[in-house]
Amino acid sequence: MSYTACFVLGWEGAFCQAAGLLLSGPQEKHHKSTVCRSNKSPWVCLTCSSVHCGRYVNGHAKKHYEDAQIPMTNHKKTEKQEKVQHTVCMDCSSYSTYCYRCDDFVVNDTKLGLVQKVREHLQNLENSAFTSDRHRKRKLLENSSLNSKLLKVNGSTTALCATGLRNLGNTCFMNAILQSLSNIQQFCCYFKELPAVELRNGKTAGRRTYHTRSQGDNNVSLVEEFRKTLCALWQGSQTAFSPESLFYVVWKIMPNFRGYQQQDAHEFMRYLLDHLHLELQGGFNGVSRSVILQENSSLTASSKCCINGASTVVTAIFGGILQNEVNCLICGTESRKFDPFLDLSLDIPSQFRNKRTKNQENGPMCTLRDCLRSFTDLEELDETELYMCHKCKKKQKSTKKFWIQKLPKVLCLHLKRFHWTAYLRNKVDTYVEFPLRGLDMKCYLLEPENSGPESCLYDLAAVVVHHGSGVGSGHYTAYAAHEGRWFHFNDSTVTLTDEETVVKAKAYILFYVERQAKSGSDKL
């Protein structure tokens, strides 16, 4: 796929008519597809100015382009007709320009700057629509919308301060992870307290940056966009925040997540944490941000776990250490290796895989303890995983066992619900019981006697849930605790919920925070 400037935009005459129609035509404030009248993901053709929906709605924008490619059989095409093929369109929401012929987002413009003029025209329409709607809806926002976000807490009325995240097209996997991380207080506060990084200067200062895949990677900062997103949440905004800028940065630096198809939330979380860690190590624009970690007294040297170099807030919060112990069954030679981790991926034991609901009486219920025990129990490696014994000097049968040498401040547990069969990736829909409080990890430690009575106890902070049957389909939501209350995050919708609802969820990713103060809660 090309990342160069689009050659179609070099044909100046191809867009003069469309620009004229858009700039002098009717002032449409709300863009809808001319075919299906959908207002979701509207794209305007820069050849004829018609509006169609995106490929992940009903696909009329792409069909409009494909229909224009049908050869004209009745008469010979002129040179101009050869060029004007409805190839380039603009997103009416993000103002990004896309070329179907290049199959890529583009950043260049015509010599007369017509694309930028269209972009500014659409943005002016959006601003004027917002201004007029703001006056009309002010009373509704102050009454109906606000009242719907009020709840009773200890007899007094308080406002629901949580903010949802707009779905940009199958981006629920990203939204669920972002909302979960925003409720890991120590992690979230670190980024919110970072100083802003100015990415624009000179002629572009003060103007909106349109991120495209044609720009260089040095123009974007994942840490900065992540910081902005976290700052936008929990500010009491009654409209969902659009993580558009963050998503375009993700496209830049994580090629696996380009496009609008459904992705695995756990895979995205690992990529996100890894890239945040790498950028914090090196700083941005020559300014190292990892030094702030040293100034934070709550993140002591003993809490840091280095992964791929110097420690950052990512490894200080999520980093733990495993001891991998392998024993040769022939000569008894023991091999030990220490591996850092940011999360633990746990198998759901096979004997529980047919139990789908909490209330199902068919056999014992699977618990999080069962999954942890399966992860740490002694295991004999099969024929495909023979151990290369340095004493026997050949591959031998062996056993393997994991111990946790160091627990992290935030324990992230990933339940492996997706597995490959001969041709398909199926989902294990088993309900796994998990505790809200008092997850005791002491029995999984290598040296439990060296740990304090409270240092091994964890309380649940957030849960990511996958709804549906396959990894490439379905929907992700998240539950998270904030200031003693539980919230359900479903893209742009945020609702107050209760503990009984949370514990019934079929968890995919669990975030447990190390307990600081003593409590009389029961242990797992």
Beta bridge partners of 51: 44
Neighbours of 56 (CB within 10 A): 15
SS3 (DSSP) at 415: strand
Output Rg (C-alpha) for the chain, integer angstroms.
27
Which tokens belong to 21? 């129609």
Residues annotated as catalytic are: 172, 475
In terms of Cα–Cα distance, which of 202, 203, 245 is closest to 224? 245
Say if residues 6 and 31 touch (Cβ distance below 8 Å).
Answer: no
Q: How many Cα atoms occupy the beta-carbon half-sphere of 423 within 13 Å?
A: 0
* Rounded-to-integer distance, Cα 392 and Cα 160, Å: 65
The C-alpha torsion from 192 through 194 and 195 to 199, rounded to 10°, is: -90
Q: How far is CA 95 from the centre of its chain?
A: 22
* Rounded-to-integer distance, Cα 40 and Cα 43, Å: 9
Beta bridge partners of 494: 489
* Rounded-to-integer distance, Cα 278 and Cα 210, Å: 24
Encode 458-492: b = buried (16+ Cβ within 10 Å), e = exposed: bbbbbbbbbeeeebeeebbbbbbbbeebbbbbbbe
SS3 (DSSP) at 90: strand
SS3 (DSSP) at 363: coil
* Rounded-to-integer distance, Cα 283 and Cα 286, Å: 6
